[in-house]
């Protein structure tokens, strides 16, 4: 299984910026933050803009956090921009401006969880660690466990399952990337392309006749349209589009539901994504 996936990845893997020789660990960290819940196609142009402006952690740390939030633009979940800025500050203050290479140090950075820490250790530094995302979990669930769906995540269980599959240290980065790519392009959640899958012959789910999933299912995100998340996005867009403060009256013009708008503003203030400047004016963090 491991070598078949590595061979497939070498010939079929996408030509993505973070896979290019010489791509920096800082670039890998930025890309991982951006790729959380955002499609690759939307990330690539923003990643280039971001790294051109802030090519090092020190460059971003020297800028106001509000600039990072504004540059985040339409990537969604703008708290990631604040975490990334806090990461840059921590890297400068504690790691001499260099992205750390081991999982323990990476986990100490703001906003970095088990997946991101191991992804940086493996993809930026060639570490021998198990990387687990939803695509990898789906491939393992189907090929090794015969389940149609990967079910809710469990960090301990998922890391153990991936660790058991890791090949030798020199091949584990390619295997981690390859199995992730396989889940993204071939072993997809809907309409998996088993006819071109390099490990279809040994897939437990396929060989069992594609049984329906009977266990617990992963949580499905609530509809975005009309949600509080959309209201938050409307407020953030209004603030990103202005270099000065924005009054409450202006914000009322971008979202009609006053109760929902109030919740959005309160949440954004609590998260540190906006600041109250005067009694009725707001701005991005300074």
Q: Which residues are catalytic?
A: 32
Alpha-carbon span 108 to 8, nearest angstrom: 35
Q: What does each C-alpha distance from 265 to 226, 247, 261, 274 come to in angstroms?
A: 16, 12, 6, 8
Query: What 3-state DSSP class applies to 214?
Result: coil
The C-alpha angle 59, 63, 67, rounded to 5 degrees, equals 120
Alpha-carbon span 72 to 270, nearest angstrom: 19
Q: Do 176 and 159 touch, CB atoms closer than 8 A?
A: no
Sheet containing 246-247: order of strands: 246-247, 281-283, 275-278
In terms of DSSP H, where are the helices of the chain? 2-12, 25-35, 40-53, 57-61, 65-72, 79-94, 103-107, 114-123, 134-143, 155-163, 172-185, 204-207, 228-240, 248-252, 258-271
The token pair at 196 is: 């071109």
The C-alpha angle 79, 131, 148, rounded to 5 degrees, equals 95
Identify which of 62, 64, 52, 65 has the alpha carbon closest to the alpha carbon of residue 24: 52
Which residues, other chains included, contact 225 with Cβ-Cβ below 8 Å and sequence gap of 6+?
none
The token pair at 224 is: 């975005």
Which residues, other chains included, contact 241 with Cβ-Cβ below 8 Å and sequence gap of 6+?
none
């Amino acid at each position: 299984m491991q070598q078949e996936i590595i061979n497939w990845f070498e010939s079929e893997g996408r030509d993505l910026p973070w896979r290019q020789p010489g791509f920096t660990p800082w670039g890998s960290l930025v890309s991982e933050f951006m790729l959380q819940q955002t499609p690759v196609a939307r990330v690539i142009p923003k990643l280039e803009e971001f790294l051109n402006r802030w090519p090092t952690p020190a460059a971003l740390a020297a800028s106001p956090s509000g600039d990072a939030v504004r540059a985040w633009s339409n990537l969604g979940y703008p708290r990631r921009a604040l975490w990334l800025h806090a990461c840059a500050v921590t890297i400068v203050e504690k790691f001499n401006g260099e992205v750390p290479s081991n999982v323990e140090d990476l986990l100490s950075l703001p906003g970095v969880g088990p997946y991101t820490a191991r992804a940086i250790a493996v993809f930026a530094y060639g570490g021998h660690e198990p990387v687990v995302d939803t695509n990898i979990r789906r491939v393992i669930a189907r090929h090794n466990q015969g389940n149609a769906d990967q079910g809710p995540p469990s960090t301990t269980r998922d890391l153990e399952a991936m660790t058991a599959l890791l090949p030798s240290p020199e091949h584990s980065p390619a295997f981690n990337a390859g199995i992730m790519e396989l889940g993204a392009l071939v072993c997809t959640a809907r309409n998996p392309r088993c006819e071109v899958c390099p490990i279809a012959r040994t897939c437990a789910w396929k060989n069992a006749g594609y049984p329906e999933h009977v266990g617990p299912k992963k949580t499905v995100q609530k509809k975005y349209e009309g949600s509080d998340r959309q209201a938050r996005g409307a407020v953030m867009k209004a603030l990103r589009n202005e270099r000065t403060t924005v009054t409450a009256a202006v914000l009322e013009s971008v979202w009609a539901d006053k109760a929902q708008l109030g919740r959005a503003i309160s949440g954004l203030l609590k998260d540190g994504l906006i600041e109250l400047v005067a009694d009725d004016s707001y701005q991005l963090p300074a």
